[in-house]
């Protein structure tokens, strides 16, 4: 017996307390989103919702994309729902990020959602992802290789942005199947557009949608998608337990120094391999790597047994190396360019990213305040030109209060 989709959406709105507010409905013009738009229009008075709609024109199908946009605008006008059309250059977005065209289109949509929400003070974005979308995502992750989180599927609710005050997105049709949505559209004579790019099996999602998933239904019964979906909910609960444990481990086994993460080697070496690698995966995500590669995680883990100074290749923008008592994870440091600047007079000097201010003061105007950023020099003791240059191997100096010379390398080593 098919779901009553009105009840499915009403239950989701109730569960997440989406009422007495303005919401943004993502409408592509396809079957799922048009059904959602009509259901929300019907429920809007019950939940006291002020509906706004957004259509993102990806410009990938030329004139057909424009026809989709015109269709959505006309449908929204018939329902009295204000609609905002945003056009994005997905190919340009794809050139500046990893993940291919599908990931770029998704990123562009979310940026458009966030922009409209901020412009009109909207707290929620409602989308028409279904149970089938969830299972497709799980299978895609499984085929590409994933960890536990990749098998949990699409979350029902998540923030649009990392900022905790960000508007949230809710997939209110996530417990309904595509079959249920199609029946609802047919029964209620809801018009919709067909996106021909969804038939292109050059995309992995479409290969699954038109090939593997129908075969699974034939071989293992029509409810196989529902069973996989149920499993993803069980794994989501397990992932929450693991996430909580990793937060505790992160707090007790690591320290942060600015943007660096230092993982205490002695503490992690006593843990199971699973916890150790999960912690490093967690650290890499905290560092800013969206989807850490499992091979990179293993390389970082191997640093626990490596010599001081050993390094691991983990990402184009980040690095990992073994320090004395820790494994250090950080953003790659740009190669240091040597410099040589003659300080001819008072003023400001610049060498690459380094800045130096020089000022000559009479002795009675000098008030020595301990600071890492200020040095006092006796001008009468200088011989020749005063030079500001980068450190060189073999540089030595006599520390204050000492009678012997110390190398800069020795000083830096003892300061660790």
In the chain, the percentage of residues whose pLDDT exceeds 70 is: 95
Residues 105, 240, 315, 294, CA torsion sign: negative
pLDDT, average across residues 263-287: 94
Q: Report the distance separating Cα 25 and Cα 120, nearest Å.
A: 13
Q: What is the mean pLDDT of residues 128-147?
A: 93
The Cα 60–Cα 320 span in angstroms is: 39
Residues 263, 278 contacting (CB under 8 angstroms): no
| C-beta separation of 50 from 40 below 8 A | no
pLDDT in tens, 188-211: 999 999 988 888 888 899 999 999
Whole-Å CA distances, 16 to 10, 48, 124, 157, 393: 10, 14, 10, 8, 62
Instruction: Of 43, 40, 8, give the one whose Cα is nearest residue 25.
Output: 40
- The number of residues making up the chain comes to 416
Rounded CA separation 300/280 (Å): 7
Fold of 258-331: 3.30.465
**pLDDT beyond 70 at 249:** yes
Contact 351, 341 (CB under 8 A): yes
Whether 2 shows a pLDDT value over 60: the answer reads no
- Please give the Cα distance from 416 to 170 (Å, whole number): 48
Using 50, 70 and 90 to split pLDDT, how confident is the model at 164? low
| Residue among 137, 129, 229 at smallest CA distance from 181 | 129
- Per CATH, the number for 5-233 is 3.40.50.620
Average pLDDT, the chain: 89
- Distance in Å from the first CA to the final CA of the chain: 68
Question: Is-same-fold flag (5-233; 258-331)?
Answer: no
User: Which contacts qualify for 212-217: CB closer than 8 Å, 24 or more apart?
Assistant: 212/139, 213/132, 213/135, 213/136, 213/139
Residue ranges per structural domain of the chain: 5-233, 258-331, 340-414
Q: Is the pLDDT of residue 165 over 90?
A: no
Mean per-residue pLDDT for 2-10? 86
DSSP calls for 16-34: TT--SEEEEEE--SSHHHH
Strand-pairing partners, residue 85, are 55
What confidence score (pLDDT) does residue 1 get? 37
d(CA 108, CA 341): 46
pLDDT at position 414 over 70 = no
Q: What is the mean pLDDT of residues 340-353?
A: 85
Nearest Cα to Cα of residue 208 among 112, 309, 136: 136
| pLDDT tens per residue across span 290-324 | 888 889 999 999 999 999 989 998 888 899 999 99
pLDDT band at 101 (very low <50, low <70, confident <90, very high): confident
The first and second tokens of residue 273, run together, are 């391999």
274-286 average pLDDT score: 94
Q: 188 CB contacts (<8 Å, ≥6 apart)?
A: 35, 38
Mean pLDDT is lowest, of 25-39, 90-104, 114-128, 277-291, for 90-104
């Amino acid at each position: 017996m098919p779901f009553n989709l009105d009840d499915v959406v009403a239950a989701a709105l109730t569960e997440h307390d989406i009422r007495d507010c303005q919401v943004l409905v993502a409408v592509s013009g396809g079957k799922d989103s048009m059904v959602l738009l009509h259901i929300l229009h019907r429920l809007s008075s019950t939940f006291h919702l002020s509906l706004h709609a957004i259509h993102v024109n990806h410009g990938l199908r030329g004139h057909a994309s424009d026809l989709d946009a015109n269709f959505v605008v006309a449908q929204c006008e018939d329902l009295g729902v204000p609609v905002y059309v945003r056009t994005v250059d997905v190919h340009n977005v794809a050139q500046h990020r990893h993940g291919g065209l599908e990931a770029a289109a998704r990123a562009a949509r979310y940026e458009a959602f966030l922009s409209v929400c901020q412009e009109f003070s909207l707290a929620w974005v409602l989308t028409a992802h279904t149970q089938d979308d969830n299972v497709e995502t799980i299978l895609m992750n499984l085929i590409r290789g994933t960890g536990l989180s990749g098998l949990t599927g699409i979350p029902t609710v998540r923030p649009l942005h990392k900022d905790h005050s960000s508007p949230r997105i809710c997939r209110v049709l996530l417990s309904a199947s595509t079959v249920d949505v199609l029946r609802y559209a047919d029964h209620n004579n809801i018009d919709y557009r067909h996106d021909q790019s969804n038939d292109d099996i050059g995309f992995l999602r479409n290969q699954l949608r038109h090939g593997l998933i129908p075969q699974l239904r034939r071989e293992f019964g029509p409810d196989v998608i529902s069973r996989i979906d149920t499993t993803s909910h069980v794994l989501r609960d397990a992932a929450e337990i693991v996430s909580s444990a990793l937060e505790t481990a992160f707090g007790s086994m690591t320290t942060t120094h600015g943007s660096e993460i230092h993982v205490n080697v002695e503490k992690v070496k006593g843990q199971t391999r699973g916890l150790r690698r999960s912690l490093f995966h967690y650290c890499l995500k905290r560092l800013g790597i969206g989807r850490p590669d499992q091979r990179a995680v293993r390389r970082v883990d191997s640093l626990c047994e490596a010599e001081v100074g050993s390094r691991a290749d983990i990402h184009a923008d980040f690095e990992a190396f073994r320090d004395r008592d820790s494994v250090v994870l950080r953003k790659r440091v740009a190669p240091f360019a040597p410099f040589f600047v003659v300080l001819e007079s008072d003023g400001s000097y610049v060498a690459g990213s380094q800045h130096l201010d020089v000022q000559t003061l009479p002795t009675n105007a000098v008030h020595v305040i301990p600071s890492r950023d200020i040095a006092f020099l006796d001008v009468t003791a200088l011989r020749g030109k005063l030079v500001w240059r980068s450190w060189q191997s073999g540089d030595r100096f006599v520390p204050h209060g000492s009678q012997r010379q110390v190398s800069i390398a020795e000083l830096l080593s003892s300061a660790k």
